[in-house]
């Protein structure tokens, strides 16, 4: 994770990369009112490094209105997945940018409304003509005002009206396809005097200085992660000199650095950042070479420890190989190695894991603990377009999972264990509450996923309102608590005789408890009620969905060409340990 690369590097690298056979494909379009040389090159290189083959389209200089409004434009022919519309305060406001204070008070709100509706029209046209996500950048609020220190007292000051336009832009976030990137926040982070270089602006109409283009594209990459679903799910942490200063086995409980002293504060702050991520749904795990009892005592009892046992979905404190531990963690949490981020202060461990498990993101750790918190605040790999209720509940769900495992180990007979679990399944229709989660499941589920079709929210929303489709999901709970919405299916009603299972998936942490059978049974029952004779399913193999391979066969589907077919006259044996609640 080195970010020192400058624009020259990206420009040159972009010439050498070639699409790979197996890479994920992504089509990205850029629209702007100024020169955006370097953006697409940088993005292609950054995507390439993440295993994504990115193809780009850059609209002609200052043609974005025409491109967006003309439905035959190159933009629409390109069929982007993500489109970035980079707005610019000077361009949007024209002369008002300089002479706003000469506009009579009474005219000001009219002008703002007009500017907003101009942007709205092009965005809405785009939403109508394209399935792409549209990311619009907010307007930068300039630092300077001709009114100087008195600017704060002016009503409808330039700054106020720009933030009013921005507020309006952000409200469009409520729609599925339009998203706003807070460009003003980007400028605040690095400073207007750095981002805006007068020399480059006057001579080349460059509005984001060449030095900051890689940093800006880094920000845009957040959307690439979220849209392609390659976000990280779990942070795996070392302990000594990572969560606290010093080595517990040598220095002991009372002497490690954690708490109210300069070095201790750095670790406390770092832990608080981790806790906040944990609370929003990023899992934490421990991978540490230590005597278990020494280390766990700190986690349980140290007065300054922020993260406690319950914050960790998986704890590996032992003398085993770190790579083996990482593999175990992925396995136990039922997530891919490519969902893991590894935090370890030791450069040798970092290198070892990087070499052995290239899928794991290994963070380049600074030597100085005071810089640790910044690792978190600079990370862009946890992005999702929308944080769902499941994200927020995830940590407690995994805690329930830990308890389930403990119960499972007490039974010799797996079926006896299932009976004791009191599993309940609630079938829910896709609606505004469940659509974000359904989309997220299609984007993130790899293992028990029959077709691995990825759907964005707007697509799920379209399906759910279509007469030809059924979109439902299941919420699963048991004696250890709620697992949340963990399974979903999309049925295509082909005709009066046949339904096709377009999508059928279940989160891997629920797999093997009979929920998948209950879901199929729901589909069969529904089909029978509609007089449907045949249900047709398909298994599209990927590198990850082996666990779902024999599913249809096991349930009595018959093979026909590439499909599996169930005749609704037949009876499917369904598990009896699950209570089903229907929400019609």
Partner 1 sequence: MSEKLYQIISKVFSIDSNRINDETSPENLEEWNSFNFYVLLDEIEKEFEMKFDLDELLGIKKVGDLKKIFTKHGINIE
Query: Which residues, in sequence order, are CB contacts of 210 under 8 Å at separation 6+?
Result: 7, 38, 197, 200
Separation between Cα atoms, residue 47 and residue 214, nearest integer Å: 13
Distance of closest approach, residue 75 Cβ to partner 1, in angstroms:
22
14 near partner 1 (CB under 8 A)? no
Residue with Cβ nearer partner 1 (200 or 334): 200
Query: Which residues, in sequence order, are CB contacts of 371 under 8 Å at separation 6+?
Result: none
Residue with Cβ nearer partner 1 (10 or 343): 10
Reduced to 3 states (helix: H, G, I; strand: E, B; else coil), residue 483 is strand
Tokens of 360: 């794991």
Exactly one of 11, 275, 277, 565 binds partner 1 (CB under 8 A); which one? 11
Exactly one of 114, 202, 348, 367 binds partner 1 (CB under 8 A); which one? 202
Cβ contact 408:512 at 8 Å? no
Alpha-carbon radius of gyration of the chain: 27
Exactly one of 191, 204, 347, 512 binds partner 1 (CB under 8 A); which one? 204
Distance of closest approach, residue 8 Cβ to partner 1, in angstroms:
4
Cβ contact 568:528 at 8 Å? yes
Distance of closest approach, residue 312 Cβ to partner 1, in angstroms:
44
**Contact string 27-56 vs partner 1 (x = CB under 8 A):** --------x-xx------------------
Stretch that binds partner 1, among 83-91, 203-211, 279-287, 559-567 (CB under 8 A): 203-211
Integer CA distances (angstroms), 307 to 273, 274, 371, 583, in order: 10, 8, 19, 39
Tokens of 476: 């699963």
Distance of closest approach, residue 3 Cβ to partner 1, in angstroms:
16
In this structure, the chain runs to a length of 584
Reduced to 3 states (helix: H, G, I; strand: E, B; else coil), residue 569 is coil
Is residue 285 packed enough to be buried (19+ CB in 10 Å), middle (13-18) or exposed (0-12)? buried
Stretch that binds partner 1, among 3-11, 159-167, 286-294, 377-385 (CB under 8 A): 3-11
Separation between Cα atoms, residue 470 and residue 448, nearest integer Å: 20
Query: Which residues, in sequence order, are CB contacts of 522 under 8 Å at separation 6+?
Result: 427, 472, 580
Q: Are strands 481-493 and 498-506 parallel, antiparallel or unpaired?
A: antiparallel
Exactly one of 12, 171, 194, 542 binds partner 1 (CB under 8 A); which one? 12
Reduced to 3 states (helix: H, G, I; strand: E, B; else coil), residue 141 is coil
Residue with Cβ nearer partner 1 (130 or 209): 209
Separation between Cα atoms, residue 418 and residue 518, nearest integer Å: 14
Stretch that binds partner 1, among 4-12, 378-386, 537-545, 570-578 (CB under 8 A): 4-12
Q: What is the DSSP string of 379-405?
A: --TT--SS--HHHHHHHHHHHHHHHHH
Query: Which residues, in sequence order, are CB contacts of 447 under 8 Å at separation 6+?
Result: 334, 508, 511, 544, 545, 546, 547, 548
Distance of closest approach, residue 203 Cβ to partner 1, in angstroms:
6
203 near partner 1 (CB under 8 A)? yes
Distance of closest approach, residue 58 Cβ to partner 1, in angstroms:
12
Stretch that binds partner 1, among 9-17, 359-367, 519-527, 575-583 (CB under 8 A): 9-17
Tokens 């005002």 correspond to 145
6 near partner 1 (CB under 8 A)? yes
Stretch that binds partner 1, among 137-145, 180-188, 206-214, 288-296 (CB under 8 A): 206-214
Distance of closest approach, residue 209 Cβ to partner 1, in angstroms:
8
* Touching partner 1, residues 142-201 (CB under 8 A): 199-200
* Touching partner 1, residues 429-458 (CB under 8 A): none
Exactly one of 169, 187, 206, 360 binds partner 1 (CB under 8 A); which one? 206
* Touching partner 1, residues 211-270 (CB under 8 A): 211
Stretch that binds partner 1, among 11-19, 107-115, 225-233, 303-311 (CB under 8 A): 11-19
Separation between Cα atoms, residue 401 and residue 405, nearest integer Å: 6
Exactly one of 1, 8, 387, 392 binds partner 1 (CB under 8 A); which one? 8
Stretch that binds partner 1, among 1-9, 228-236, 288-296, 427-435 (CB under 8 A): 1-9
Binding-site ranges for partner 1 (CB under 8 A): 6-8, 11-12, 15, 35, 37-38, 199-200, 202-204, 206, 210-211
């Amino acid at each position: 994770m080195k970010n020192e690369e400058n624009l020259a590097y990206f420009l040159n690298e972009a010439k050498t990369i070639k699409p790979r056979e197996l890479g994920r494909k992504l089509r990205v379009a850029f629209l702007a009112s100024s020169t955006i040389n370097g953006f697409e090159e940088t993005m292609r290189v950054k995507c390439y490094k993440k295993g994504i083959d990115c193809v780009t389209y850059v609209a002609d200089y200052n043609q974005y209105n025409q491109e967006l409004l003309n439905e035959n434009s190159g933009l629409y022919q390109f069929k982007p997945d993500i489109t970035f519309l980079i707005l610019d305060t000077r361009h949007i406001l024209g002369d008002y940018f300089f002479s706003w204070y000469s506009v009579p008070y009474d005219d000001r709100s009219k002008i703002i409304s007009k500017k907003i509706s101009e942007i709205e029209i092009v965005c809405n046209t785009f939403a109508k003509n394209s399935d792409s996500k549209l990311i619009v950048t907010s307007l930068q609020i300039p630092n300077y005002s001709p009114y100087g220190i008195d600017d704060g007292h002016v009503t409808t000051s330039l700054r106020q009206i720009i933030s009013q336009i921005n507020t309006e832009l952000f409200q469009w976030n409520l729609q599925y396809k339009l998203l706003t990137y807070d460009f003003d926040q980007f400028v605040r982070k690095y400073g207007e005097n750095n981002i805006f270089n007068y020399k480059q602006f006057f001579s080349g109409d460059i509005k984001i200085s060449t030095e900051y283009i890689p940093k800006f594209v880094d920000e845009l990459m957040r959307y690439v992660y979220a849209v392609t679903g390659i976000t990280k799910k779990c942070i795996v942490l070392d302990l000594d000199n990572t969560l606290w200063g010093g080595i517990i086995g040598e220095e002991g409980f009372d002497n490690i650095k954690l708490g109210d002293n300069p070095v201790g504060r750095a670790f406390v702050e770092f832990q608080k950042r981790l806790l906040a991520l944990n609370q929003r749904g990023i899992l934490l795990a421990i991978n540490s070479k230590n005597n278990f009892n020494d280390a766990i005592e700190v986690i349980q009892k140290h007065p300054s420890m922020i993260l406690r046992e319950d914050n960790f979905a998986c704890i590996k404190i032992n003398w085993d190989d770190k790579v083996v531990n990482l593999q175990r963690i992925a396995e136990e949490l039922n997530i891919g190695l490519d969902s893991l981020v590894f935090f370890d202060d030791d450069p040798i461990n970092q290198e070892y894991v990087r070499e052995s498990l290239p899928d794991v993101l290994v963070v380049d750790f600074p030597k100085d603990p005071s810089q640790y918190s910044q690792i978190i605040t600079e990370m862009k790999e946890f992005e999702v377009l929308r944080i769902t209720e499941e994200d927020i509940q995830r940590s407690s769900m995994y805690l329930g999972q830990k308890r389930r495992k403990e119960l499972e180990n007490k039974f010799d007979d797996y079926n006896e264990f299932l009976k004791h679990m009191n599993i309940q399944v609630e079938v829910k229709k896709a609606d505004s509450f469940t659509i974000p989660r359904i989309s997220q499941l299609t984007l993130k589920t790899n293992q028990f996923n029959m077709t691995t079709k990825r759907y964005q929210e707007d697509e799920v929303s379209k399906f759910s309102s279509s007469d030809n489709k059924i979109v439902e999901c299941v919420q699963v709970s048991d004696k250890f608590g709620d697992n949340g919405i963990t399974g979903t299916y999309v049925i295509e009603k082909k005709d009066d005789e046949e339904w096709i299972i377009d999508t059928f998936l279940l989160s891997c942490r629920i797999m093997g408890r009979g929920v998948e059978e209950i879901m199929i049974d729901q589909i069969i029952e529904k089909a029978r009620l509609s007089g449907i004779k045949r249900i047709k399913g398909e298994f599209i193999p990927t590198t990850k969905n082996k666990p779902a391979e024999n599913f249809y066969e096991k349930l009595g589907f018959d093979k026909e060409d590439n499909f599996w077919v169930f005749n609704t006259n037949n009876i499917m044996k369904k598990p009896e340990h699950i209570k089903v609640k229907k929400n019609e």
